Every structure is written in C-alpha cells, then in structure tokens.
Amino acid sequence: MSVPSRADLRRLHFINALFGHVTGHDLYLAQQIKGAITFSLAELEVQTAAHPEFAAKFDAEFNAAAAHLLAKLFAHLPRRGFFHWDAALTPAAATPLFARAELMAGLKHLAPYRESTLLVTNLRPALIPPTRRATPRRQRDYEEALAFVRALTAARTARTADLQLLFL
C-alpha cells in the first residue's frame, strides 16, 4: 500500500470537513467521496502526473467539483441552506465592494434557513495569485478580506441561525 501524498491527505480532510454531516466524519466514507470526485477528473489527474505544473489547476477543478457536489446535496435538504461564492470568478470579485455585494446576496439567500453553509472559494488565489509573489501588501489584503468576510457574516446572520462559514 502506497503512502498518500500531502495533497491527497489535504483533499481527504477537506472532503471530510465539507461532507461531515453525511459521513459522520468517517474517513473511509470521505475517502469514497474523494475517490468519486477524483475519478470524475481522471484525465486531468493523468495530465497532472505527467506535468506537475498542472497541480494548481487540478486542485481548482477538484475544489469546484466538490463545491458542485455539495450544492447538489444541499438542494435535496429543504431545511438547510447553501451558498457558494467563488472569489476568483471575475478579476474584481475579491475587492471589498464586489465581495460585499456577493456576500450580501448569499446571506439574503441563507436568511430563511435555521442551518446553512456559506462556502467561500479561491479568496487567497484571487488576492495572492500563485504566479506572483506573496508581498506583504498582498498578504495584508488577504488577511483584511478574511476579517471582512467573517465580520460581515457575523453582523448579517441572525443569532438563532447556525451558519457554517467555510474558506477554501
């Protein structure tokens, strides 16, 4: 039996966190979900094995597939809300003005639900591109964006609501 890579373990724990309410935090079941998502990206995985520079693309596609699967799962749970915001959707999406508009739309969508999940993806790559240096200014912008999302979510969520805020 081969030792899983660091990236595989990270993906496994990510799936376990996202789908914990389904798997009961059983890593075997999380491994099955991870395997299904990886199987759907088999061609890209083969390309990544041949060209290690495709690893970031594989991670992005894996995360998008997991978010899509989670959205489909929550669509069948009428008492639980789900909203996914991809901060890298447009070049300006992660700026405070556009981020606030997207998050407010998401929080408005989640307001009727007592239990909900807000998934934020690609915030770090949107503010600190992997092809560029992580300068102190970019790092500060990223930290401020994290704080902004947390504060806005806390301020605009009812006290009685159970909202999970996940960053990926």
For 167, the 3-state DSSP assignment is strand
Residue 1 has pLDDT above 70, yes or no: no
Per-residue pLDDT tens digits for 67-104: 888 888 877 777 888 898 988 888 788 888 888 999 99
Residue 41 confidence (pLDDT): 81
Residue 103 confidence (pLDDT): 94
Domain boundaries, the chain: 1-76, 78-168
What DSSP state is assigned to residue 117? E
For the chain, give the mean pLDDT. 85
Choose among 109, 121, 125: nearest CA to 62.
121
Report if pTM > 0.85.
no
For 45, the 3-state DSSP assignment is helix
